[in-house]
Structure 1
Amino acid sequence: MPAFADPYLITLPKLGAPNIGYISVAEGPGLALPFAVQRVFWTYYTPESIVRGRHAHHRTEQVLVAVAGRITVVTETAAGALKTFRLEDPHVGLYVPPRMWHTMQYSHSAVQLVLASLPYDEADYIRDYDQFRALGRPG
């Protein structure tokens, strides 16, 4: 099994000023993003009591951005290492590498933008938690 990076925060450029507003730009690979974007989607109007995600990907890398509101993201390696991130600034994204279980919980007004390295492929998803944890066991 190849080793993947840990999740980490990415600060995107924030261009502008309070009196005119701001624009942030996500370009990649090697500029602001660690990969070329092949899929973009967003989630919104998610009730605060709902936990989304609950999966990992075999190959897809993602950057999650709270373009509005607050999103709490919990990541977990197959070995069980947990990290919690609070996204609430529209020029900060969270890099989620392959084989990283992740869950998201949203404030009512949250809008999450997801930039993904690959197009949608159901076969890329690991939706069974026990199967995911088995990836971290030797042999």
Structure 2
Amino acid sequence: MANVFDCSIVELPRITSESGNLTPIYGGVTLPFDIKRVYYLYDIPGGETRGGHAHRDLYQLIVAASGSFDVLLDDGKNRRVVHLNRPYFGLYLTNMIWRELLNFSSGGICLVLASDVYREDDYYRDYAEFCSVARGEQ
């Protein structure tokens, strides 16, 4: 079973220039999965929390494309908070990790690259159910 220590910070490639920087990300090369969906969260009001779920099968890379935020990781036994604040670092999340995105800075943008298309049946949205499964109680 996955645990919060299987999730890691990935330094993404950077091409720097006086006219601005570029970070290319390749599925199956930069990331250990093919990218099948990309989305981003923005205009998040102060004090709001996003996420609040886990995935049965999905893997993700979460990047603070602008600003900063925290990611609370929970495997049903252990918890860990990761602060993201650079667009060239991403947080690689394995499946079966509960995540909550918190403490968004003003103008914060969260970019997510996912290993699969949206499937509602891949989600655990009830924390107690997730913990029960993650701890092998179901």
Give the TM-score of the pair, scaled to structure 2.
0.92
Q: Which whole-Å deviations, capped at 9, do the CAs of 1:66-92 have from their partners, x for residues lacking one? A: 1100011010002x2111111110011
* Structure 1: runs of 5+ lacking an equivalent: none
The answer for the alignment partner of 2:82 in structure 1 is: 85
Contact 1:47 1:107 in 2 (8 A): no
Residue of structure 2 in register with 1:133 after alignment: 131
1:11 corresponding residue in structure 2: 11
State the identity as a percent.
32
Deviation, structure 1 residue 96? 1.0
Show structure 1 runs of 4+ deviating over 3 A.
none
1:102 Cα deviation (Å)? 0.3
Counterpart mapping for 1:91-110 below 5 A: 91-105=88-102, 106-110=104-108
Q: Which whole-Å CA distance do the structure 1 matches of 2:112 and 2:100 have between them?
A: 13
Give the AA of the match of 2:16.
Answer: G
Distance 1:48 1:58 in 2: 29
SS at 2:34 equivalent: coil
Task: Say whether residues 1:21 and 2:20 are aligned partners.
Answer: yes
Query: What TM-score results when the alignment is normalised by the length of structure 1?
Result: 0.91
Compute the RMSD of aligned alpha carbons.
1.2
Residue-pair matches, total? 134
Q: Which amino acid aligns with 1:12?
A: L
Q: Which runs of 5+ in 2 are unaligned?
A: none
2:33 paired residue number: 35
